[in-house]
């Protein structure tokens, strides 16, 4: 064997690796940076909150006289996270997470839809009627959420960046609240209309029924007021989180350790 020969079972050395091989080898051996780890965590929080929002949206409760869907519990997290990603990583990274959320939601909906179509076992602890009552609305909720959330999230990101440019990076509270409050008008009207008025008319399940106009109005107003209040409430969280995360990323050691 000559001095330059390479064993087929050995890792390629830097001198013989192609550009793509060197890149892949770097990904395998280098530790993820703090910025990479944080982006992954924020994206995971966004996707988890989005899926939970759709999964629990069929249950309603009343708070201070306003009808609210349980989906409202997790949904504000998605807008806080996209604002954090926009501030720390820019509009393109935020838009990428939004697109990933769309793909994940379609996947979850497909699985649930298949589950509703499978024959029920006569000894199943959950009856077909109960399952359809809980999950029959999910495809409609996801459809409405996706149309609403793609529209509202992209609107949120665009407004956020517009205010960021207009104020030259100042007045963080303005772009955080302004982008979310405006985009939520579009989001709330679309998701309630599609998920709770239109979908129950075409889903084929007797267990699901469309809401009337009075209920629609009450839910839209209640959902929007709650979202607007949360947007104002999360402003200090956004300020503190942005400052803390920037310091944490900036304090990363110059030479990250090699991944094991």
**What separation in angstroms does the CA of 107 have from each of 114, 125, 142, 215, 238?**
11, 25, 10, 30, 30
Domain contains 6: no
Tell me the per-residue pLDDT of 77-86, one tens digit each, with 9 for 90 and over.
887 898 899 8
Domain contains 22: no
Tell me the per-residue pLDDT of 105-156, one tens digit each, with 9 for 90 and over.
889 888 888 888 888 888 888 888 888 777 777 777 777 877 876 777 677 7
Q: Name residue 66's beta-bridge partners.
A: 63
Q: What is the CATH number of the domain that holds 64?
A: 1.10.1760
Domain contains 136: yes
Looking at the 3D structure of the chain, how many domains does it have? 1
Domain contains 2: no
The pLDDT-based confidence of 7 (bands split at 50, 70, 90) is very low
Strand (E) or helix (H) holding 62: strand 60-63
Domain contains 89: yes
| Domain range for 126 | 33-250
pTM of the model: 0.71
Domain contains 69: yes
Average pLDDT over residues 32-52: 92
Domain contains 21: no
Side-chain half-sphere exposure of 232, counting CA atoms within 13 A: 5
DSSP calls for 167-206: TTT--HHHHHHHHHHHHHHHHHHHHHHIIIIIGGGTS--T
pLDDT winner (highest mean) among 5-19, 20-34, 179-193, 208-222: 208-222
Map tokens 């697109």 to a residue. 99
Domain contains 17: no
């Amino acid at each position: 064997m000559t001095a330059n020969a390479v064993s087929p079972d050995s890792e390629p050395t830097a001198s013989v690796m192609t550009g793509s091989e060197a890149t892949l080898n770097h990904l395998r051996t280098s530790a993820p940076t703090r910025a990479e780890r944080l982006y992954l965590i924020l994206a995971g929080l966004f996707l988890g909150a989005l899926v939970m929002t759709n999964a629990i949206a069929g249950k309603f409760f009343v708070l201070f006289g306003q009808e609210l869907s349980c989906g409202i519990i997790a949904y504000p997290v998605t807008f806080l996270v996209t604002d954090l990603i926009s501030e720390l990583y820019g509009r393109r990274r935020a838009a990428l997470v939004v697109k990933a959320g769309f793909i994940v939601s379609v996947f979850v909906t497909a699985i649930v839809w298949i589950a509703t179509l499978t024959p029920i076992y006569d000894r199943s602890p959950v009856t077909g009627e109960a399952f359809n009552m809980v999950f029959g609305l999910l495809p409609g909720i996801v459809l409405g959420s996706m149309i609403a959330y793609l529209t509202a999230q992209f609107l949120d990101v665009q407004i956020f960046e517009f205010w960021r440019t207009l104020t030259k990076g100042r007045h963080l509270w303005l772009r955080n609240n302004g982008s979310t409050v405006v985009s939520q008008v579009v989001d709330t009207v679309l998701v309630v209309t599609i998920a709770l008025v239109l979908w129950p008319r075409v889903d084929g399940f007797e267990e699901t029924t469309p809401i009337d106009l009075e209920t629609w109005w009450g839910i839209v107003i209640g959902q929007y007021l709650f979202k607007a209040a949360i947007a104002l409430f999360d402003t200090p969280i956004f300020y503190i989180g942005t400052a803390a995360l920037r310091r944490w990323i900036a304090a990363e050691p110059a030479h990250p350790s090699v991944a094991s």
